[in-house]
Amino acid sequence: MVTLLLDSTQLEVVLSPIERTLSRRTTSVRIAREHIVKVQLTDDAWTWLRGVPNPGTLIRGTIAMGTWRSAGGADFVIVRRRHPAVVIDLDGDAEFSRVVLTTRHGRDLVQALRLEADDAPLEVTEIAASAR
Round to whole Å and give the CA distance between 122 and 132.
16
Could you tell me the pTM of the whole model? 0.87
How many other β-carbons are positioned within 10 Å of the β-carbon of residue 113? Answer: 17
Q: Which residues pair with 89 in a beta bridge?
A: 38, 98
The 10s digit of each residue's pLDDT in 55-114 is 999 999 899 999 999 988 899 999 999 889 999 999 988 899 999 999 988 888 888 887
80 vs 1: CA distance, rounded Å: 9
